[in-house]
């Protein structure tokens, strides 16, 4: 089960085959803004455009999680399999909905801020309201060249998400057939670096490849 997010920080350096360059954390740091989306959903491009803009907001860390339940949709005699979709991303979304909405039913585009509030992912006003409604992180993260240091009063799993910084995809089937879709911070991999138990700790960071960045956050429990 997913619970409230404690802290999040992003390393925005893109270094071929190397870890991100140093980025210092701060108390009351950025909030995690997650978008559950699909290249097969015609309602999702406006949300992806909004989140691409939000990727440059210093108060947020954005992640695009591409879900897989649109991959089998036949629309107008064609379908589109999102190359970034995964069942693990769908499981994460279902876990959020079980906690935040009391149902395992899902929809796209769906946004989640701070692990605590959900909203229609294309609605800027709902995002703004969600940001005001949730508490600030109680954990501090500081990213070094090859490690991340964690301190603060919270406890939880330290999660690393490998992200594709920018991507353009020409869709040739399904509801978005013929459209050029642009994504930012697309999730490629999620792994647990370790467990933060309330005492200062340091965790090694995986290397990043060309065009990649990463998000690191602490969350009480994780899905999938």
Alpha-carbon 26 to chain mean position = 20
This prediction's pTM: 0.88
Handedness of CA 82, 85, 91, 93 (dihedral sign): negative
pLDDT tens digits, one per residue of 38-95: 999 999 999 999 999 999 998 888 999 999 999 999 888 899 999 999 999 999 999 9
Which residues make beta-bridge pairs with 170? 180
**Contact by Cβ (8 Å): 37, 67:** yes
The pLDDT value recorded for residue 139 is 81
Average pLDDT, the chain: 85
Give the pLDDT mean for 11-36: 53
Tokens coding 84: 């970034």
The pLDDT value recorded for residue 221 is 63
Where is average pLDDT lowest: 22-31, 162-171, 172-181, 214-223? Answer: 22-31
Whole-angstrom distance, CA of residue 223 vs CA of residue 92? 5
pLDDT tens digits, one per residue of 128-160: 999 888 877 778 888 887 888 988 887 888 999
pLDDT tens digits, one per residue of 97-116: 998 999 999 999 999 998 88
Whole-angstrom distance, CA of residue 84 vs CA of residue 106? 18
- The pLDDT-based confidence of 12 (bands split at 50, 70, 90) is very low
Sorted by where each starts, the structural domains of the chain and their CATH numbers stand as: 5-219 (3.40.30.10)
Q: Is the pLDDT of residue 3 over 60?
A: no
**Contact by Cβ (8 Å): 71, 37:** no
């Amino acid at each position: 089960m997913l619970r409230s997010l404690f802290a999040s920080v992003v390393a925005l350096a893109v270094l071929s085959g190397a870890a991100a360059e140093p980025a210092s954390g701060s108390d009351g740091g950025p909030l995690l803004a997650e978008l559950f989306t699909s290249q097969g959903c015609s309602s999702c491009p406006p949300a992806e455009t909004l989140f691409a803009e939000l990727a440059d907001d210093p108060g947020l860390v954005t992640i695009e999680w591409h879900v897989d339940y649109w991959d089998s949709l036949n629309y107008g005699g064609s379908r589109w399999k999102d190359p970034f979709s995964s069942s693990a991303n769908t499981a994460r979304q279902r876990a959020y909905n079980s906690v935040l909405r009391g149902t395992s039913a899902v929809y796209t585009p769906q946004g989640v801020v701070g692990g605590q509030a959900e909203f229609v992912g294309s609605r800027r006003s709902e995002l703004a309201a969600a940001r005001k409604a949730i508490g600030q992180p109680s954990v501090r993260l500081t990213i070094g060249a090859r490690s991340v240091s964690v301190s603060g009063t919270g406890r939880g799993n330290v999660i690393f998400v490998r992200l594709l910084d920018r991507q353009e995809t020409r869709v040739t089937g399904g509801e978005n057939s013929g459209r050029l879709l642009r994504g930012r911070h697309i999730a490629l991999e999620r792994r647990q670096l370790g467990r933060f138990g309330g005492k200062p700790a340091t965790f090694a960071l995986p290397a990043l490849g060309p065009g990649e960045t990463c998000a690191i956050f602490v969350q009480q429990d994780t899905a999938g």
